[in-house]
Amino acid sequence: MSLEISRRDLIKGVGGLSAASVLGLTSATGLDAAQAASSKQAVRFANWSLYLDYDNKAKNYPTLVDFTKKTGIPVKYMEVIDDNDTFTAKVTPQLRLKKDIGYDIVVLTEWMASRWINGGYVTKFDDAKIPNKKNVLPFLLNRPLDPGRHYSLPWAGVIAGFAWNTKHTPKGIHTMEQLFAPANKGKIEVLSEMRDTMGLILMWQGVDITKPFSQDKFMNAIDYLQKMIHDGFIRQVKGQSYQEDLISGDAVAVIGWSGDINQLNAQNSNQFGFAIPDSGGTFTTDNMMIPAQSPNKVSAEAVINYYYDPVVAARVANYINYICPVSGAQEAMAKINPAQVHNKLIFPDDAMWKKLHVFHPLSQAEQISFSTAFQKASGNA
């Protein structure tokens, strides 16, 4: 599959240049034929790794297998997204040229999803085809990125907080001071996702991240991050690969994502702890969207609708361990895995929700200056 995509990307990338005709291999006929094919065309679903229930023995995704059995619509599931920015940068040329990007469903974090919606890169849902939308948790239906949810629906909720190696830190980490304790020096990693790392530091410094705040406050938090990097406390600023460093012992304390730690524990005899900082954790959602030029919109809507069935949602949540956006899933979970019914990282209670905060939407100017400052502190600019 990857070969097919890269070839298609290549051809499209060159397509903008008149030089493509020189090559004489514009496979336009192949693409047209694919688009004209019936609704039995496979839905191409792009998602993050470890983000859908997977059967290790059968080597398939059980909920997807059931979907195809029920509807006859095949789904091609691809774990191709590992960073909002990188994935978007890769498909932007096709989006701008209004070409099919090779995916019918993409899953992106709120702030990036908002950029896609504002750019006109996604298609409006036909609500009649997604009756299960009524099952989405009400407060997730009216997010600033897409009021009323006409272009996006939440796949899962993500919490950023502290994670640690329980052998190294038996007492756990609940405050920024405990994260940057001398014993952890040189073995601390923070997320390259700016809103998570900076959000936690800002909240610890007493800033309300849910409302606009001054540039000075952001720069104060950057100064703190910079100092921790300069003084050798922070080993690296990285994405999901912090997991490997936790396993190998190269990192003992991190700012990480809730579901990752749950999954790591399942494979590493509960060696890791996760907590939402006392000063507050960040919450955001990853969202399913249909790219504007998708030739399989109707089938894609069927897939999206399927995942808002409470039983299906509970099966997925049981595996991925991230916040489940579907009401009724907690009750359904009782039959699937009773141990997970009261897992607050999947079904947060009110006390938990009070500790979670959403980074307010940034203006374009803020996005550029904050992101530049964050990259500069990380040594990248």
Partner 1 sequence: MSTALLHATAHEKKPLITKKKLLPYWLLAPGIIWLVIFFLVPIYQLISTSTQTQGFGIGTYVQTYRFSNFIDAITSSKAQLIRSFEYAFLATVFALIISYPLAYAVAFKSGRWKNTLLVLIVAPFFCSFLLRTVAWEQILGEQGLVIKFLRFVHIIGAQGHLTATPFAVVAGLTYNFLPFMTLPLYASLERIDIRMMEASGDLYANALTTFRKVTIPLSMPGVVAGTLLTFIPAAGDYINAELLGNPGTKMIGNVIEARYLEIVDYPGAAALSLILMVTILILVMAYVKRAGTEELV
Place of tokens 């938990």: 352
The burial of 6, by beta-carbon neighbours within 10 Å (0-12 exposed, 13-18 middle, 19 or more buried), is given as: exposed
- Identify the three-state secondary structure at position 209: coil
**Residue 23 or 65: which CB sits closer to partner 1?**
23
Q: In angstroms, what is the minimal distance from the CB of 377 to partner 1?
A: 8
**Residue 41 or 236: which CB sits closer to partner 1?**
236
Nearest in space to 164 (alpha carbons), one of 154, 151, 174, 152:
174
State the first-to-last Cα distance of the chain, in angstroms, to the nearest integer.
35
If you compute the radius of gyration of the chain from its CA atoms, what whole number of angstroms results?
A: 21
Q: In angstroms, what is the minimal distance from the CB of 140 to partner 1?
A: 25
Strand pairing partners for 161?
256
Q: In angstroms, what is the minimal distance from the CB of 329 to partner 1?
A: 34
**Residue 34 or 247: which CB sits closer to partner 1?**
247
**Residue 3 or 22: which CB sits closer to partner 1?**
22
**Residue 72 or 144: which CB sits closer to partner 1?**
144
Q: In angstroms, what is the minimal distance from the CB of 362 to partner 1?
A: 10
Q: In angstroms, what is the minimal distance from the CB of 40 to partner 1?
A: 36
**Helix boundaries (H) for the chain:** 2-15, 19-23, 28-36, 62-71, 84-96, 110-118, 138-141, 176-179, 194-204, 215-230, 242-248, 258-267, 297-306, 310-320, 329-336, 350-355, 364-377
**Residue 28 or 368: which CB sits closer to partner 1?**
368
Q: Which two tokens stand for residue 342?
A: 């009261």
Q: In angstroms, what is the minimal distance from the CB of 297 to partner 1?
A: 25
Q: Which two tokens stand for residue 286?
A: 């990853």
**Residue 235 or 315: which CB sits closer to partner 1?**
235
Q: In angstroms, what is the minimal distance from the CB of 275 to partner 1?
A: 23
CB 8 within 8 A of CB 101: no
Which residues bind to partner 1, rule: CB under 8 A?
14, 17, 19, 22-23, 83, 85-86, 89, 92, 115, 118-119, 185-187, 192, 229-230, 234-237, 248-250, 364, 367-368, 371-372, 375-381
In degrees, rounded to 5, the angle at the alpha carbon of residue 1 between the alpha carbons of residues 156 and 33 is: 105
